[in-house]
């Protein structure tokens, strides 16, 4: 079958379309004929060796498709089911057929397009798990540091759905988007604390950081209770500051809840570009360069005329 991945750790020059065997599902796994697959920063980080991988490997961490085989102990799914979920080891999704972890898979509702479903497990799933971890009461104020990115958009929307006030740091070019999702946008950089205080004079109850580095160190000073400081961008620093990483759930229940929110119009995965598998290199370059304004998704076959539902 056709797939896209890398032949050795390094730069984009090691990426290629590959001919690889059709995978066989093991215990707790499904095999799906891929309709759509998400593109994430973790894909280029895997290729460059950040996770210790030596290659070769097929890229792709999340997919939506039709089940073609069910492995042992993968209860709740049958051949022909339309599903979406995460790939074992967070690899293998950019292919005509891919494996999906059954415990991190869910049935795709008819009203949720494959392109939207394939964008949920990684970014929206992280956002969902972060809010569950913080467990803030309605009316509390959350600062999202980096609200204009792939996780920032979902976390703002999900936080607003929980009744939270949200302030989001972002580049000025993304302020309109951050505001559309429901947050009060403030600019990064010098003076950010003054701008946050102006946007939230009542104070900040929790911080979810998606930037890391000095930006994380700065906004952490807004909290006296560092147990309400989360970061997925700089795990060593957030631990040093008294906060923590997000504990991922990666469950069918979370994916089912996210799909329901998309179907209701509460959550927009913000898919802004859909490309065929053959253009995976272009898709990954856009994400790696930080030029993607929203979620980039690959499809196997000719891209459909995908239109996200408006947020209600």
Interval 26-36: pLDDT, tens: 999 999 999 99
Closest of 85, 76, 104, 89 to residue 35, by C-alpha:
85
- Interatomic CA distance for residues 99 and 250, integer angstroms: 15
pLDDT at 263 exceeding the cut of 50: yes
Burial class of residue 151 in the structure, from the number of CB atoms within 10 Å of its CB (0-12 exposed, 13-18 middle, 19+ buried): buried
pLDDT at 1 exceeding the cut of 70: yes
pLDDT at 310 exceeding the cut of 60: no
Q: How far is CA 298 from CA 20, 50, 276, in A?
A: 18, 23, 5
Most distant CA pair in the chain, distance: 58
Mean pLDDT of 186-192: 95
DSSP 120: I
pLDDT-derived band at 312 (thresholds 50, 70, 90) equals very low
Q: What is the pLDDT of residue 302?
A: 63
- Residue 226, Cα to own-chain centre: how many angstroms? 24
Question: Residue 134 corresponds to which tokens in the numbers above?
Answer: 């913080």
SS3 state at 67:
strand
DSSP 165: E
pLDDT at 311 exceeding the cut of 50: no
- Average pLDDT in the chain: 94
Q: Which domains does the chain have, with CATH numbers?
A: 2-119+269-299 (3.90.180.10), 126-240 (3.40.50.720)
Q: What is the pLDDT of residue 290?
A: 83
**For the ranges 4-13, 106-115, 290-299, which has the lowest average pLDDT?**
290-299
Mean pLDDT of 127-150: 97
């Amino acid at each position: 079958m056709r797939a896209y991945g890398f032949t050795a750790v390094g730069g984009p020059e090691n990426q290629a379309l590959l001919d690889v065997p059709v995978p066989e599902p093991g215990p707790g796994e499904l095999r799906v004929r891929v309709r759509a697959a998400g593109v994430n920063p973790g894909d280029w980080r895997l290729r460059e060796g950040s996770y210790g991988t030596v290659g070769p490997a097929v890229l792709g961490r999340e997919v939506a498709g039709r089940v073609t085989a069910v492995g042992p102990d993968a209860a709740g799914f049958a051949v022909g089911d339309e599903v979406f979920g995460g790939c074992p080891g967070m690899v293998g999704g950019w292919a005509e057929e891919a494996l999906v972890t059954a415990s991190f898979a869910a049935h795709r509702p008819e009203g949720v397009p494959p392109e939207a479903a394939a964008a949920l497990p990684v970014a929206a799933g992280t956002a969902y798990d972060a809010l569950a971890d913080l467990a803030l009461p309605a009316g509390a104020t959350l600062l999202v540091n980096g609200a204009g990115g792939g996780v920032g958009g979902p976390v703002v929307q999900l936080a607003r759905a929980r009744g939270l006030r949200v302030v989001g740091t972002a580049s000025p070019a993304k302020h309109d988007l951050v505001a559309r999702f429901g947050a009060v946008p403030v600019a990064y950089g010098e003076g950010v604390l003054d701008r946050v205080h102006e946007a939230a004079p009542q104070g900040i109850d929790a911080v979810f950081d998606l930037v890391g580095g000095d930006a994380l160190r700065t906004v952490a000073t807004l909290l006296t209770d560092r147990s309400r400081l989360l970061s997925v961008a700089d795990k060593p620093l957030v631990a040093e500051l008294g906060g923590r990483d997000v504990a991922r759930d990666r469950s069918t229940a979370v994916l089912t809840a996210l799909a329901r929110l998309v179907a209701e119009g509460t959550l927009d995965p913000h898919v802004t570009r859909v490309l065929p598998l053959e253009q995976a290199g272009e898709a990954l370059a856009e994400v790696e360069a930080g030029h993607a304004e929203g979620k980039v998704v690959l499809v196997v076959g000719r891209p459909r005329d995908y239109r996200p539902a408006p947020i209600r």
